[in-house]
Amino acid sequence: MKTIHTEEEWNNAIQSENALIMFSADWCPDCVVIKPIMKEIEEEYDQFDFYYVDRDKHIELCQELDIFGIPSFLAYRHGEETGRYVDKERKSKEQITAFLNSLA
C-alpha cells in the first residue's frame, strides 16, 4: 500500500485505473485491527492500486470528501469516484472484500 503524502500524489492516485484509498490513522484501534488483513486483501485483489491516507495529516481532504469515520475506503477510476465505504464502524475482512466485489 502506497502512502499519499502530497496533493500531487493524491491527484495521481485517483487517476489510476482502479484505485482503492484507505483513510486511517496510527492511533485508531479499528484501523490497527485491519492492518494485517489489508495485506491479505491487497494480494487477493491485485487489480486495485492500494493507497493509504493518514487522516490526521490530511484533515482538510477528509473534510472535503466527508470522511468522518475511520477506517474508511474510497474507490476511484480515472479521477471519478466509483464507490465509498465510509462510516465509523470497525470493518471485517468480509465487509471490505464485499465492498471490493461490489465495485466490479
What is the model's pLDDT at position 82?
95
CATH code of residue 62: 3.40.30.10
Domain enclosing residue 37, as ranges = 2-102
First to last CA, the chain: 20
| Single-letter amino acid code for the residue at 104 | A
What is the model's pLDDT at position 31?
86
Distance CA 39, CA 25 (A): 16
Mean pLDDT by 10 residues, the chain (104 residues): 94 94 91 90 95 94 91 95 89 93 88
What is the model's pLDDT at position 38?
93
What is the model's pLDDT at position 61?
92
Number of independent structural domains in the chain = 1
C-alpha separations of 81 from 17, 34, 39, 56, 84 in Å: 11, 23, 23, 22, 8
pTM of the predicted protein model: 0.91
C-alpha separations of 63 from 5, 56, 77, 90, 103 in Å: 17, 11, 21, 20, 24
What is the model's pLDDT at position 79?
94
